[in-house]
Amino acid sequence: MLRFFALVDIYNEELPKKDVQKFLDEYLEEKNREVAQNDELIQEYYERILKVLNFVKSNTSFGFRENSRKKTKRVIFEALSVGVYFALLEKPNLICNENQILTILTSTELRETWSGNSQVVYALDKVRKRIEIVKNQLLGNDANNKARVFR
């Protein structure tokens, strides 16, 4: 869940120049301080993840996996959870089916973003690219759509 919240929060920001683990550690410390000062944030974050979990539960029997037999891969959880979140912000009544989600998760375009060593796979620019692919495909946008460009 930490990855979901952190990636949602930095979506519109410039990418930090650090590895993902260091970024997540710093993010967690910062959010703990913020929540200590404003406990209403807990409800806001709860509603964010609940929206995503409900969508995934309603649209696929595999949850955040590629099929019923595999474990959840971190790269898939990140891409699907955050991609769904931002797709729902743009289109709250988004409807899709399990085949559409499986097509996205097994697409060559998405798979190419998680090949290589772990340093490359978990680089924040690769993580963002995966999120963008899922979001755009859920919304039916062309991969070259310029509606959303990261810095």
Lowest mean pLDDT among 22-26, 67-71, 134-138: 67-71
Give the count of beta carbons closer than 10 Å to the beta carbon of residue 66: 15
More confident residue, 63 or 138: 138
**Secondary structure (3-state) at 63:** coil
pLDDT at 23: 84
Instruction: Report the pLDDT value the prediction gives residue 117, as an integer from 0 to 100.
Output: 63
Q: Which residue has the higher pLDDT, 141 or 55?
A: 55
Residue with tokens 């409800």: 43
Which has the higher per-residue pLDDT, 70 or 127? 127
Q: What is the pLDDT of residues 93-124, one digit of tens each?
A: 998 989 999 999 989 998 888 877 666 676 77
Q: What percent of the chain has pLDDT over 70?
A: 85
What was the pLDDT predicted at 119?
Answer: 60
Average pLDDT in the chain: 85
**Cα–Cα distance measured from residue 7 to residue 2, given in angstroms and rounded to the nearest whole number:** 8
Q: Given this model, what pLDDT does residue 37 score?
A: 95
pLDDT tens for 32-73 read 999 999 989 999 999 999 999 999 999 988 888 877 677 888
Q: Rounded CA gap, 114 and 126, in Å?
A: 8
Supply the pLDDT for residue 40. Answer: 93
147 has a pLDDT exceeding 50: no
Which of 8, 143, 145, 21 lies closest to 79, judged by CA? 8
